[in-house]
Chain A
């Protein structure tokens, strides 16, 4: 789950690839955007979304759209951020929780998830 020693070793030999989040993840006190997204008590994104670009993201969920082509769908970073903060603004009938408005995540955690998602 997440970043193993093996993937860290691979990432260490290819610093400027997508291995970078793995390096972030291994700093104990600072969970990465990927870890926050993965954490069932925090983002829990995989409950409703697939992230096809992240091979370690195991989910069959099809409630929300797959999280891909994020840059094309949200060229404006603040739009993606708002979507996480309060998704009811864009879609009053959404089942997606308001991660910012209801303080499910901190503002910093939301920023880290946005960074993580922009890879895909």
Chain B
């Protein structure tokens, strides 16, 4: 008996040392998030944290003013209306999208993406939309298409406007997905050999030709955007455009790589208020 408890004690000691060591060498997601926040607050002194959801506009007061004026009567209201109709149309079985989410879909988007322990993968809000369709015997919507998925989320996400992003990375497996997303963020890709971090971390606020580069902090809070008031672009749609611009072959909508990247970037914006369906020039 005494021998057995001695072994248990040794094992416990080893486990403690291993955990302590791993905590030292691997920064936690929360360490990343607070370091990133400090970094940007030093670079953009005086900008309130909540303003980071406005992206590059934090460094462009004139542009921010124009944005506010346009957002009073956004030119893309008809797209949001389309999305609203889709959201409100009952399935064949009489149920609807609102039945799939707590609060009838209000105040839920901030919880996405999340790591599903049973499925062993990251689940995005769009995945949840399709799960709702699937469970109710309806055909799933294609990812990356303007209609119906794009316009549906353009409406459905607004039901969570103002909600603070609240992405959880709790288990070891969840951390692995977070780290995979972080890895892609820092990885050089494409013929142009650029990493997301190269622009959106180290050169955020600087000007590329005539445009200010947006900081990674806050990027996850404001999708979809309507470029020029018309071109609907989701978060992963932006990944696609960026990868193409770096002359890399894009991974693809709902790919593990992009879901993990969305997971990582969303975690970094924890605490910031969501504001969906916004204008960008």
Contacts and interface: CB of A to CB of B under 8 A. Distances in A.
Given A95-B199, A95-B203, A47 B192 contact: no
Interface in A62-106: 62-63, 88, 93, 95, 97-98, 102-104
A59 interface: yes
Given A95-B199, A95-B202, A95-B203, A88 B208 contact: no
A3 B208 CA distance: 24
Interface residues of A, number: 16
Interface string B223-252: 000000000000000000000000000000
Interface string A16-60: 000000000000000000000000000000111000000000011
Contact of B193 (A48, A63, A97): A97
A59 B202 CA distance: 20
Nearest to B195: A95
Contacts of A14: none
Interface string B175-212: 00000000000000001111000110011001111100
Nearest to A47: B209
Contact of A59 (B191, B193, B199, B210): B210
A16 B192 CA distance: 37
B192 A97 contact: yes
A95 B209 contact: no
B184 to A, nearest CB: 16
Contacts of B202: 93, 95
Contacts of A88: 193
A63 B192 contact: no
A102 B209 contact: no
B209 A46 contact: yes
B114 to A, nearest CB: 32
B207 A63 contact: yes
A61 B205 CA distance: 11
A98 B213 CA distance: 21
A39 to B, nearest CB: 13
Given A102-B192, A104-B192, A95 B210 contact: no
Nearest to A44: B209
A59 B206 CA distance: 12
Contacts of B191: 97, 102-104
18 contacts: A47-B208, A48-B208, A59-B209, A59-B210, A61-B206, A61-B207, A62-B206, A62-B207, A63-B203, A63-B206, A88-B193, A95-B194, A95-B199, A97-B193, A97-B194, A98-B193, A102-B191, A104-B192
